[in-house]
Amino acid sequence: MEGSPIPVLTVPTAPYEDQRPAGGGGLRRPTSLFEGQRNYLPNFIQSVLSSIDLRDRQGCTMVVGSDGRYFSKTATEIVVQMAAANGIGRLIIGQNGILSTPAVSCIIRKIKAAGGIILTASHCPGGPGGEFGVKFNVANGGPAPDVVSDKIYQISKTIEEYAICPDLRIDLSRLGRQEFDLENKFKPFRVEIVDPVDIYLNLLRTVLDFHAIKSLLTGPSQLKIRVDAMHGVMGPYVRKVLCDELGAPANSAINCVPLEDFGGQHPDPNLTYATTLLEAMKGGEYGFGAAFDADGDRYMILGQNGFFVSPSDSLAIIAANLSCIPYFRQMGIRGFGRSMPTSTALDRVAKSMKVPVYEIPAGWRFFSNLMDSGRCNLCGEESFGTGSDHLREKDGLWAVLVWLSIIAARKQSVEEIVRDHWAKFGRHYYCRFDYEGLDPKTTYYIMRDLEALVTDKSFIGQQFAVGSHVYSVAKTDSFEYVDPVDGTVTKKQGLRIIFSDASRLIFRLSSSSGVRATLRLYAESYERDPSGHDQEPQAVLSPLIAIALKISQIHERTGRRGPTVIT
């Protein structure tokens, strides 16, 4: 600390009406809005900080990280300046502002911080023409629950001023402590720049068998792997954990330099966008492939020759093989959780293990109560996210290391493990069709009319004939979740049609971005007979899709000929 104390200013502002956080996903908008609209970011940061009770906020510790996307450095500086002015005592920030979402959750829990602010728009594109986001995680390390998000939104609608120290400057590149003397503050404001990987790596060492994984990657029967960080936050983690710690050759990792625009690519680990990895795996040289999204909480698994493991299958297979993981051998298996749209493959595993399954709305925040109460210690979503109660976030690298642990224990390839699982439990054919960038009013009316149709009593028992297939409606509803811990009710979380053969159709609006709407259509069909396990998912599901399009009229009402993305 040098010179005179840094002044704390109060800046007048006016509220914006569109700063409702999308549940645990935080506020996600076009970067141009954050960058160009006067006080747009400070308004939301002040609303987040003001949502923390004043007694809890004064002198507390918070964690700040980003996925490195465009505008992150400017936004980090603003967050620091405002945290200081609002009485936060200490900030823990990753070097160069970089921290994966799982690492933020890890550090919050490790140091018992009051919460964390993550600057990310998850798997959305970056750059000036991309998206930016601000996510708030609470003291348990998990995404803000709806009651907190609602409080933030209410504050944002009436905000008149924000507090900031505009002259406060930090060096994000320099590891260690930096202290600042502020006007009218009795204690200095402290910023600690930490290695983005170390604390998280130490946790992984305690929950996984690193020796077994290292033997797999370096031993005489070395498994050749290919891991794509997609120019997001995971580059330093992949290098330090998989290469430096576990011995994978340096050239196993690609696209490991975090870039503000993710190299002009969409940092979304699926078959549509992770094409560099997919092409490399199709060559047959590598036995295991993985990709991560921008902030490191989502992942994709590929086997040799590009064999794709769907997220729902990945979750079920991990559940069936938890005995390979030291953490679960020690802690036991208390329960599983999945989002409602995720396939029911997990349910069949749970039934065989006599373990309860909790079906929740989409959004990781709903798992936190279950894990905090000890009801559940493995959770997953069809949107390429899996995690356990070692954190309160989905954790892409943890899931990849779990897969490597299973391969090491079973001494089988990815494809062999998946096919063995199908032979034992049956195969759940599954696809998600995303209609992105739609007019919100159009999607509202589509969902309103669909709900009226499918929840009418006369819809039960209706039969739909498509080719040689006849589907009979057994059950329909507008999904609603009652939290078994606190009784909180969450309504209108998607429309479900369940047929007599257990096939499912689901329609759901995504709330991750408030500018344009995304309508998601999910289809699932179960096949017990092993002779039917080698079909293309879209071919198997085409009769269901035909029914969905007929009753929803999506193409006619949106002018679209097909979905934007199929996963």
Residues carrying an active site annotation: 122
- DSSP-derived pairing of the beta strands 288-292 and 299-303: antiparallel
Report which DSSP code applies to 242: I
Q: Provide CB contacts within 8 A for 128, sequence distance 6+.
A: 31, 32, 35, 70
Q: How far apart are CA 380 and CA 506, in angstroms?
A: 17
Q: Tokens 């499912």 belong to which residue?
A: 504
| Residue 513 CB neighbour total at 10 angstroms | 20
The answer to whether the beta carbons of residues 381 and 432 sit under 8 Å apart is no
The answer to whether the beta carbons of residues 133 and 44 sit under 8 Å apart is no
Measure the CA dihedral 41/107/26/554, to 10°: 140
Q: How far apart are CA 152 and CA 166, in angstroms?
A: 23
Q: How far apart are CA 262 and CA 321, in angstroms?
A: 34
Q: Which two tokens stand for residue 34?
A: 């954050």
The DSSP secondary structure of 347-408, one letter per residue, reads: HHHHHHHT--EEEE-SSTHHHHHHHHTTS-SEEEETTTEEEETTSSS--HHHHHHHHHHHHH
Q: Tokens 């704390």 belong to which residue?
A: 8
Q: Provide CB contacts within 8 A for 349, sequence distance 6+.
A: 316, 319, 320, 336, 425
The answer to whether the beta carbons of residues 498 and 347 sit under 8 Å apart is no
Q: Which two tokens stand for residue 557?
A: 């009402």
The answer to whether the beta carbons of residues 260 and 68 sit under 8 Å apart is yes
Measure the CA dihedral 365/366/371/375, to 10°: 180
| Residue 309 CB neighbour total at 10 angstroms | 21
Q: How far apart are CA 250 and CA 253, in angstroms?
A: 6
φ and ψ of 9, to 5 deg: -105, 150
